[in-house]
Amino acid sequence: MRKEQYDSERPSAAFPFESRYVDVLGHRIHYIEEGRGAPVLYVHGNPTSSYLWRNVLPAVAADTRGRGIALDLPGFGRSGKLADGNYTLDLYYRVLEGFIEKLGLKDLVLVLHDWGGPLGMMYAVRHRDDVKAVALMETFLWDTSWKDYGKFKAVFKLFRSPIGYLMIQVMNFFVNKILPGSVVRKENMTREVMDHYRQPFPTIASRRPVRIFPKLIPIEGRPETSRLFIEEIEDNLRRLDIPVLWIKATPGAIITSNTEYRLVALAARLPRLMVMKFGPGLHYLQEDDPGRLAELIAGWIKGQNLHNLPPEIDKILFDAA
């Protein structure tokens, strides 16, 4: 579907994919896929799932003649919950790594959002021969500062405090308020869309992974496990000689006018970084304008000739910044 159609039509809330499951390290992991050819793996963040990519994945697969795959991390979407509730950064990484190995995915293009960014980039720096390119949006590859959070500083401090249990697990605040509040086009967040996002979290206990992710964000060196995770990524970025795309929205939520220096610093470490302008968007760009997002990703894949297709430079519909 073309961007022009999305300008007049609300993106679909439907999730018309066959559910597939694979056992990874004893965890039942749900995923969807569409298309055949070179693999493009989509990795979500908090509090989303493969549902986030429902309007992007098939459009990119069709335009590039590739194979789109999106998984649900443990505790999210239709993947299994942990009986002990011990959701850790190491667990999420090992499951992602095991998932890729289980499906035998090689020459990957990774498309990463939110927490999918550091998880996927860790895979890229540890498995450089298996990753062909990486596309990033609304994510972080650095130890953040409280200054980065602007008006959201107070709420994220609460999320990381004992009050976070009441806000996120009892009141379901992250799903009910943060998610729809982080989209420019509020009309896109219909009841049907929100019902899909609420479905994996019907109970207080089931919302634990949503609460854990804010506590895992590396902020001024804490928690130490997250700081060390990020430092390993940062220390190896210069060795990652592959195309890397950053899709930047306006005003954005993670990369804003006040935090653009983060991209400047990243460009100094990534030799083949390209930044493309998305247009109006906050954090969940997949809900703001999935047609635009699919065009940028597919145009970049074809422009870089990542799937060995004839380049069609005159048809690339983006502005490089």
Across the chain, which distance is largest between two alpha carbons, in Å? 55
| CB contact at 8 A, 43 and 110 | yes
- 138 part of the active site: yes
Residue found by looking up tokens 């970025």 in the block: 237
User: Which among 125, 136, 122 has a CA at the least distance from the CA of 94?
Assistant: 122
Q: Reduce the DSSP state of residue 33 to 3 states and report it.
A: strand
11 burial (CB, 10 Å; 0-12 / 13-18 / 19+) is buried
Beta-sheet pairing, 244-251 with 108-114: unpaired
What does the angle CA 54 – CA 59 – CA 62 come to, to the nearest 5 degrees? Answer: 130
Q: Which of 33, 283, 289, 307 is catalytic?
A: 283
Q: Which of 114, 148, 288, 295 is catalytic?
A: 114
Q: How far is the C-alpha of 171 from the C-alpha of 283, rounded, in Å? A: 21
Q: How far is the C-alpha of 120 from the C-alpha of 93, rounded, in Å? A: 8
Q: Which of 138, 287, 288, 295 is catalytic?
A: 138
What does the angle CA 86 – CA 89 – CA 94 come to, to the nearest 5 degrees? Answer: 95
- If one counts every other C-beta atom within 10 angstroms of the C-beta of residue 236, the result is 16
Q: How far is the C-alpha of 320 from the C-alpha of 263, rounded, in Å? A: 14
Active site residues: 114, 138, 283
